[in-house]
Amino acid sequence: MPGTLYILATPIGNLEDTTFRAVRILGEVDLIAAEDTRHSLKLLNHFGISKPLTSYFDHNQQFKGERILQALRREKSVALISDAGTPCISDPGFNLVRAAVAEGIAVIPIPGPCAAVTALSASGLPSDTFTFAGFPPARQGKRRAFLNAMDHLPGTLLFYEAPHRLEETLRDIREVMGERQVVVARELTKIYEEFIRGTVTDVLSTVAQGKVRGEVVILVAPGEAAQEDAPPLPELLGRLLHDEGLTVKDAAKKAAEMTGVPKNTAYAEALRVRNGGKEC
For residues 279 and 188, what is the distance between their CA atoms, to the nearest angstrom? Answer: 51
> What is the per-residue pLDDT across 58-81, written as a single tens digit (0 to 9) for each?
888 888 999 999 999 999 999 999
Whole-structure pTM value = 0.78
Q: At residue 37, does pLDDT exceed 50?
A: yes
CATH class of the region 4-113: alpha beta
Q: Do β-strands 4-8 and 31-34 pair in parallel, antiparallel, or remain unpaired?
A: unpaired
Q: Which residues contact 276 (CB under 8 A, 6 or more apart)?
A: none
> What is the CATH number assigned to the segment(s) 116-220?
3.30.950.10
The confidence score (pLDDT) of residue 275 equals: 83
> What is the per-residue pLDDT across 201-257, written as a single tens digit (0 to 9) for each?
999 999 988 778 888 999 999 886 544 455 788 888 988 888 888 899 888 888 877
> What is the per-residue pLDDT across 147-177, written as a single tens digit (0 to 9) for each?
999 988 889 999 999 999 999 999 999 999 9
Least confident of 78-87, 248-257, 258-267: 258-267
240: which DSSP letter?
Answer: I
The confidence score (pLDDT) of residue 279 equals: 52
User: Cβ–Cβ contacts within 10 Å for residue 115, how many?
Assistant: 23
187: which DSSP letter?
Answer: S
Going from N- to C-terminal start, the domains of the chain cover 4-113, 116-220, 233-274
As a whole number, the mean pLDDT across the chain is 91
